[in-house]
Amino acid sequence: MNEAKSETVGLTLVLAAATLWGLLGPFGAALLALGVDPVEIAFWRALFGGGAFLAHGLATRRWVPLPRAALVGTLGFAALGVSLFYVALIRAIDLGGISLAFVLLYTAPAWVTLLAGPVLGERAGRAQWALVGGSIVGVTLVSLARGEGIDPSPAALAWGLTAGLGYASYYLWGKRLLVRQSPIQLYGLALSLGALGIAPFVEFGPKPPAAWALLAAVALLSTYLAYLLYGLGLRRASASRSVLVATVEPIVAGMLAWALFGERLGAVGLTGAGLVLACAAASGIRVRAPRTVAAATRGDA
Protein backbone atom coordinates (compact mmCIF):
# COMPACT_ATOMS: atom_id res chain seq x y z
CA MET A 1 0.00 0.00 0.00
CA ASN A 2 1.50 3.36 -1.05
CA GLU A 3 1.88 6.19 1.44
CA ALA A 4 -1.01 8.32 0.11
CA LYS A 5 -3.43 5.39 0.14
CA SER A 6 -2.29 4.38 3.60
CA GLU A 7 -2.92 7.92 4.85
CA THR A 8 -6.42 7.89 3.34
CA VAL A 9 -7.24 4.57 4.95
CA GLY A 10 -5.90 5.81 8.28
CA LEU A 11 -7.95 9.00 8.21
CA THR A 12 -11.05 7.00 7.25
CA LEU A 13 -10.54 4.80 10.31
CA VAL A 14 -10.10 7.88 12.53
CA LEU A 15 -13.27 9.37 11.05
CA ALA A 16 -15.16 6.15 11.80
CA ALA A 17 -13.88 6.21 15.40
CA ALA A 18 -14.86 9.87 15.86
CA THR A 19 -18.33 9.11 14.52
CA LEU A 20 -18.73 6.23 16.98
CA TRP A 21 -17.69 8.54 19.85
CA GLY A 22 -20.20 11.10 18.62
CA LEU A 23 -22.92 8.46 18.94
CA LEU A 24 -22.32 8.44 22.69
CA GLY A 25 -24.49 11.52 22.97
CA PRO A 26 -27.65 10.10 21.37
CA PHE A 27 -27.10 6.69 22.98
CA GLY A 28 -26.77 8.31 26.39
CA ALA A 29 -29.76 10.60 25.90
CA ALA A 30 -31.89 7.63 24.80
CA LEU A 31 -30.86 5.69 27.90
CA LEU A 32 -31.69 8.64 30.13
CA ALA A 33 -35.10 8.88 28.47
CA LEU A 34 -35.66 5.22 29.35
CA GLY A 35 -35.06 6.07 32.99
CA VAL A 36 -31.55 4.62 33.37
CA ASP A 37 -29.56 6.50 36.01
CA PRO A 38 -26.50 8.39 34.65
CA VAL A 39 -24.10 6.69 37.05
CA GLU A 40 -25.43 3.27 36.07
CA ILE A 41 -24.85 4.10 32.39
CA ALA A 42 -21.23 4.96 33.17
CA PHE A 43 -20.84 1.73 35.16
CA TRP A 44 -22.05 -0.58 32.40
CA ARG A 45 -20.02 1.28 29.78
CA ALA A 46 -16.84 0.74 31.77
CA LEU A 47 -17.65 -2.85 32.74
CA PHE A 48 -18.69 -4.08 29.29
CA GLY A 49 -15.96 -2.11 27.53
CA GLY A 50 -13.32 -3.35 29.95
CA GLY A 51 -14.55 -6.91 29.52
CA ALA A 52 -14.17 -6.62 25.75
CA PHE A 53 -10.58 -5.39 26.12
CA LEU A 54 -9.77 -8.13 28.63
CA ALA A 55 -11.09 -10.77 26.24
CA HIS A 56 -9.10 -9.22 23.41
CA GLY A 57 -5.94 -9.18 25.49
CA LEU A 58 -6.35 -12.81 26.53
CA ALA A 59 -7.04 -13.92 22.97
CA THR A 60 -3.98 -12.13 21.57
CA ARG A 61 -1.78 -12.73 24.64
CA ARG A 62 -0.97 -9.04 25.02
CA TRP A 63 -0.29 -9.22 28.73
CA VAL A 64 2.91 -8.45 30.56
CA PRO A 65 3.62 -8.32 34.32
CA LEU A 66 3.68 -4.76 35.65
CA PRO A 67 5.89 -3.25 38.35
CA ARG A 68 4.20 -1.71 41.36
CA ALA A 69 4.59 1.86 40.09
CA ALA A 70 2.83 1.02 36.83
CA LEU A 71 0.00 -0.70 38.70
CA VAL A 72 -0.48 2.33 40.93
CA GLY A 73 -0.45 4.59 37.86
CA THR A 74 -3.03 2.42 36.12
CA LEU A 75 -5.23 2.59 39.22
CA GLY A 76 -5.00 6.39 39.24
CA PHE A 77 -5.80 6.52 35.53
CA ALA A 78 -8.83 4.27 36.12
CA ALA A 79 -10.11 6.63 38.82
CA LEU A 80 -9.74 9.85 36.81
CA GLY A 81 -9.89 8.68 33.18
CA VAL A 82 -12.71 6.16 33.62
CA SER A 83 -14.68 6.50 36.86
CA LEU A 84 -14.75 10.31 36.96
CA PHE A 85 -14.67 10.87 33.20
CA TYR A 86 -17.47 8.47 32.29
CA VAL A 87 -19.76 9.71 35.07
CA ALA A 88 -19.03 13.39 34.31
CA LEU A 89 -19.79 13.06 30.61
CA ILE A 90 -23.18 11.41 31.03
CA ARG A 91 -24.04 13.81 33.88
CA ALA A 92 -23.24 16.74 31.59
CA ILE A 93 -25.48 15.27 28.87
CA ASP A 94 -28.28 14.77 31.38
CA LEU A 95 -28.11 18.27 32.87
CA GLY A 96 -27.09 20.46 29.94
CA GLY A 97 -27.73 18.61 26.70
CA ILE A 98 -25.60 16.64 24.26
CA SER A 99 -24.15 19.59 22.34
CA LEU A 100 -23.05 21.43 25.46
CA ALA A 101 -21.45 18.32 26.97
CA PHE A 102 -19.40 17.51 23.88
CA VAL A 103 -18.18 21.06 23.39
CA LEU A 104 -16.97 21.17 26.99
CA LEU A 105 -15.35 17.75 26.53
CA TYR A 106 -12.99 19.38 24.05
CA THR A 107 -11.55 21.68 26.69
CA ALA A 108 -9.22 18.73 27.32
CA PRO A 109 -6.23 20.33 25.50
CA ALA A 110 -6.57 23.39 27.73
CA TRP A 111 -6.49 21.15 30.80
CA VAL A 112 -3.41 19.41 29.40
CA THR A 113 -1.62 22.75 29.08
CA LEU A 114 -2.59 23.73 32.61
CA LEU A 115 -1.45 20.42 34.12
CA ALA A 116 1.48 19.44 31.90
CA GLY A 117 3.90 21.34 34.15
CA PRO A 118 3.12 19.70 37.49
CA VAL A 119 2.33 16.26 35.99
CA LEU A 120 4.87 15.91 33.17
CA GLY A 121 7.36 18.65 33.97
CA GLU A 122 6.72 20.26 30.57
CA ARG A 123 6.55 24.03 30.15
CA ALA A 124 3.89 25.49 27.86
CA GLY A 125 4.80 28.20 25.37
CA ARG A 126 2.99 31.44 24.65
CA ALA A 127 1.04 29.95 21.77
CA GLN A 128 -0.32 27.17 24.00
CA TRP A 129 -1.39 29.66 26.65
CA ALA A 130 -3.08 31.73 23.95
CA LEU A 131 -5.09 28.66 22.95
CA VAL A 132 -6.06 28.14 26.59
CA GLY A 133 -7.29 31.73 26.65
CA GLY A 134 -9.28 31.11 23.48
CA SER A 135 -10.88 28.04 25.05
CA ILE A 136 -11.85 30.04 28.13
CA VAL A 137 -13.51 32.67 25.94
CA GLY A 138 -15.30 29.91 24.03
CA VAL A 139 -16.58 28.28 27.21
CA THR A 140 -17.77 31.68 28.45
CA LEU A 141 -19.77 32.17 25.25
CA VAL A 142 -21.18 28.65 25.47
CA SER A 143 -22.25 29.35 29.05
CA LEU A 144 -24.35 32.23 27.68
CA ALA A 145 -26.03 30.00 25.09
CA ARG A 146 -29.77 30.18 25.03
CA GLY A 147 -31.03 27.53 22.65
CA GLU A 148 -33.60 24.78 22.54
CA GLY A 149 -32.73 21.72 24.61
CA ILE A 150 -29.64 23.42 26.04
CA ASP A 151 -29.31 24.34 29.72
CA PRO A 152 -25.93 25.89 30.56
CA SER A 153 -26.57 25.72 34.29
CA PRO A 154 -23.63 25.89 36.72
CA ALA A 155 -23.99 22.15 37.40
CA ALA A 156 -24.02 21.28 33.68
CA LEU A 157 -20.96 23.45 33.05
CA ALA A 158 -19.14 21.96 36.02
CA TRP A 159 -19.78 18.38 34.91
CA GLY A 160 -18.82 19.21 31.32
CA LEU A 161 -15.54 20.79 32.35
CA THR A 162 -14.88 17.82 34.64
CA ALA A 163 -15.39 15.55 31.63
CA GLY A 164 -12.77 17.62 29.80
CA LEU A 165 -10.41 17.16 32.75
CA GLY A 166 -11.01 13.41 32.73
CA TYR A 167 -10.36 13.26 29.00
CA ALA A 168 -7.12 15.21 29.52
CA SER A 169 -5.84 12.37 31.70
CA TYR A 170 -5.61 10.21 28.56
CA TYR A 171 -2.86 12.52 27.34
CA LEU A 172 -1.23 13.14 30.71
CA TRP A 173 -1.16 9.57 32.03
CA GLY A 174 -1.19 7.55 28.84
CA LYS A 175 2.19 8.90 27.83
CA ARG A 176 3.78 7.16 30.81
CA LEU A 177 1.61 4.08 31.21
CA LEU A 178 2.04 2.87 27.63
CA VAL A 179 5.77 2.59 28.11
CA ARG A 180 5.30 -0.69 30.01
CA GLN A 181 2.06 -2.13 28.61
CA SER A 182 0.03 -2.31 25.44
CA PRO A 183 -3.11 -0.18 25.03
CA ILE A 184 -5.17 -3.39 25.05
CA GLN A 185 -3.85 -4.27 28.50
CA LEU A 186 -4.09 -0.70 29.79
CA TYR A 187 -7.73 -0.32 28.79
CA GLY A 188 -8.67 -3.80 29.91
CA LEU A 189 -7.35 -3.03 33.37
CA ALA A 190 -8.34 0.63 33.59
CA LEU A 191 -11.93 0.21 32.42
CA SER A 192 -12.49 -2.80 34.68
CA LEU A 193 -11.01 -0.99 37.68
CA GLY A 194 -12.96 2.12 36.76
CA ALA A 195 -16.19 0.12 36.82
CA LEU A 196 -15.33 -1.07 40.33
CA GLY A 197 -14.79 2.56 41.35
CA ILE A 198 -18.24 3.53 40.05
CA ALA A 199 -20.08 0.48 41.45
CA PRO A 200 -20.61 1.75 45.05
CA PHE A 201 -22.47 4.80 43.73
CA VAL A 202 -24.80 3.01 41.32
CA GLU A 203 -28.52 2.78 41.97
CA PHE A 204 -29.43 -0.23 39.87
CA GLY A 205 -32.93 -0.36 38.49
CA PRO A 206 -35.02 -2.53 36.17
CA LYS A 207 -34.37 -1.93 32.48
CA PRO A 208 -36.25 -2.87 29.31
CA PRO A 209 -34.47 -4.87 26.56
CA ALA A 210 -33.97 -1.65 24.59
CA ALA A 211 -31.88 -0.23 27.42
CA TRP A 212 -29.62 -3.28 27.49
CA ALA A 213 -29.18 -3.01 23.72
CA LEU A 214 -28.20 0.65 24.05
CA LEU A 215 -25.78 -0.11 26.90
CA ALA A 216 -24.12 -2.77 24.74
CA ALA A 217 -23.84 -0.27 21.87
CA VAL A 218 -22.25 2.34 24.16
CA ALA A 219 -19.68 -0.15 25.46
CA LEU A 220 -18.90 -2.15 22.34
CA LEU A 221 -19.33 0.41 19.57
CA SER A 222 -18.60 3.80 21.16
CA THR A 223 -15.91 2.53 23.53
CA TYR A 224 -14.16 -0.72 22.54
CA LEU A 225 -14.49 -0.53 18.73
CA ALA A 226 -13.96 3.24 18.58
CA TYR A 227 -10.70 2.99 20.54
CA LEU A 228 -9.46 0.19 18.28
CA LEU A 229 -10.32 2.00 15.04
CA TYR A 230 -8.61 5.16 16.23
CA GLY A 231 -5.47 3.26 17.11
CA LEU A 232 -5.41 1.50 13.74
CA GLY A 233 -5.92 4.84 12.01
CA LEU A 234 -2.99 6.42 13.84
CA ARG A 235 -0.73 3.67 12.55
CA ARG A 236 -1.40 4.84 8.98
CA ALA A 237 -2.17 8.57 9.22
CA SER A 238 -0.19 11.49 10.60
CA ALA A 239 -1.07 12.55 14.13
CA SER A 240 -1.73 16.18 13.11
CA ARG A 241 -4.28 15.25 10.45
CA SER A 242 -5.85 12.69 12.76
CA VAL A 243 -6.42 15.40 15.37
CA LEU A 244 -8.33 17.48 12.83
CA VAL A 245 -10.47 14.53 11.74
CA ALA A 246 -11.16 13.52 15.36
CA THR A 247 -12.79 16.90 16.05
CA VAL A 248 -15.68 15.55 13.98
CA GLU A 249 -16.79 13.85 17.24
CA PRO A 250 -18.61 16.85 18.80
CA ILE A 251 -19.90 17.88 15.38
CA VAL A 252 -21.49 14.46 14.89
CA ALA A 253 -22.89 14.57 18.40
CA GLY A 254 -24.28 18.07 17.86
CA MET A 255 -25.86 17.26 14.50
CA LEU A 256 -27.53 14.14 15.87
CA ALA A 257 -28.69 16.08 18.93
CA TRP A 258 -30.29 18.63 16.59
CA ALA A 259 -31.88 15.99 14.32
CA LEU A 260 -33.09 13.60 17.02
CA PHE A 261 -33.72 15.82 20.04
CA GLY A 262 -34.18 19.29 18.60
CA GLU A 263 -31.16 20.79 20.39
CA ARG A 264 -29.92 24.17 19.19
CA LEU A 265 -27.05 26.12 20.71
CA GLY A 266 -28.01 29.46 19.21
CA ALA A 267 -25.68 32.00 17.59
CA VAL A 268 -23.67 32.83 20.72
CA GLY A 269 -23.35 29.17 21.70
CA LEU A 270 -22.27 28.14 18.20
CA THR A 271 -19.62 30.88 18.18
CA GLY A 272 -18.26 29.67 21.51
CA ALA A 273 -18.38 26.03 20.39
CA GLY A 274 -16.48 26.87 17.22
CA LEU A 275 -13.81 28.69 19.22
CA VAL A 276 -13.36 25.78 21.66
CA LEU A 277 -13.06 23.24 18.85
CA ALA A 278 -10.71 25.44 16.83
CA CYS A 279 -8.41 25.83 19.84
CA ALA A 280 -8.53 22.07 20.48
CA ALA A 281 -7.60 21.29 16.88
CA ALA A 282 -4.85 23.93 16.80
CA SER A 283 -3.42 22.63 20.07
CA GLY A 284 -3.23 19.08 18.75
CA ILE A 285 -1.60 20.12 15.49
CA ARG A 286 0.94 22.34 17.25
CA VAL A 287 2.07 19.58 19.60
CA ARG A 288 2.40 17.01 16.77
CA ALA A 289 2.61 14.21 19.27
CA PRO A 290 4.36 10.97 18.29
CA ARG A 291 1.90 8.29 17.24
CA THR A 292 2.48 6.13 20.31
CA VAL A 293 1.71 9.08 22.57
CA ALA A 294 -1.27 10.26 20.55
CA ALA A 295 -2.64 6.73 20.56
CA ALA A 296 -2.69 6.84 24.33
CA THR A 297 -5.55 9.33 24.17
CA ARG A 298 -7.88 6.69 22.80
CA GLY A 299 -6.09 3.35 22.59
CA ASP A 300 -3.87 1.97 19.85
CA ALA A 301 -4.83 -1.48 18.56
Domains of the chain, residue spans:
3-295
d(C-alpha 25, C-alpha 39), whole Å:
15
Q: Length of the chain in residues, anyone?
A: 301
d(C-alpha 268, C-alpha 280), whole Å:
19
DSSP 34: T
Other C-beta atoms lying within 10 Å of the C-beta of residue 125: 9
Contact indicator for 45, 118 with CB cutoff of 8 Å: no
Contact indicator for 43, 158 with CB cutoff of 8 Å: no
d(C-alpha 16, C-alpha 113), whole Å:
28
Per-residue confidence (pLDDT) for residue 55, from 0 to 100: 95
Top-ranked range on mean pLDDT: pick from 114-128, 152-166, 270-284: 152-166
Residue 68 has pLDDT above 90, yes or no: no
Per-residue confidence (pLDDT) for residue 120, from 0 to 100: 65
Contact indicator for 300, 277 with CB cutoff of 8 Å: no
Per-residue confidence (pLDDT) for residue 102, from 0 to 100: 95
Render pLDDT for 188-213 as a digit per residue (tens, 0 to 9): 999 999 999 999 999 999 999 999 99
Contact indicator for 88, 163 with CB cutoff of 8 Å: yes
Quote the mean pLDDT of the chain: 87
pTM comes to 0.89
Confidence at 242, pLDDT banded by 50, 70, 90: low
CA distances from 215 to 84, 205, 208 (A): 18, 14, 11
Contact indicator for 243, 24 with CB cutoff of 8 Å: no
d(C-alpha 41, C-alpha 1), whole Å:
41
138 vs 122, more confident: 138
The percent of residues above 70 in pLDDT, for the chain, comes to 90
Per-residue confidence (pLDDT) for residue 230, from 0 to 100: 84
